[in-house]
Amino acid sequence: MQVRDGEVVKTEVEQASSRILEIMALKGKVTDAGAMTVRCTDYESDEEVYRARHPWSVYQVPVTAMAEAMDRLRDRLPRDGWEIVKDGVDDSPAKTPQIVAESKGKEYSVDLRLLDESKYGDASSLIEVTVVSACYRSK
């Protein structure tokens, strides 16, 4: 496991998020509190192991445009060095469309979900994005 500077990892995760937003090419509103450092729960040891996590979403865009953005992601993520490891629906009762991809070196992963609330008469549809880093030991 790599020893990394947590601030550098957070910056890299935010840069990956920015690139994903560019690929989406949506003109909506974006939530963004910035990346955060969280304990990595994949390791059950006394050592301090972390990952950077950056959850955000795009909203106030027509659902049809969001579906087109998901198609762009399917096409462009592999060309941008990501491997799509899941492309289907999640295991929620709503069967939400989901794409999960990992960067080529598996340093980062992204989980993208299209939450279509329009079928329930709600205009608050969105694409939910979570970019996370691989686990690392802090410097």
Q: What percent of the chain has pLDDT over 90?
A: 65
What integer pLDDT is reported at residue 43 of this predicted model?
61
What integer pLDDT is reported at residue 6 of this predicted model?
86
Q: Is 119 a residue whose pLDDT tops 90?
A: no
Q: What is the CATH number of the domain that holds 12?
A: 3.30.2030.30
What integer pLDDT is reported at residue 68 of this predicted model?
96
Contact 49, 136 (CB under 8 A): yes
Query: In what helix (H) or strand (E) does residue 114 lie, and over which residues does it extend?
Result: strand 108-115
Task: Quote the number of domains for the chain.
Answer: 1
Coil, strand or helix at 79: helix
Q: Is 1 a residue whose pLDDT tops 90?
A: no
Q: Is 137 a residue whose pLDDT tops 70?
A: yes
pTM: 0.90
Domain that holds residue 132: 3-138
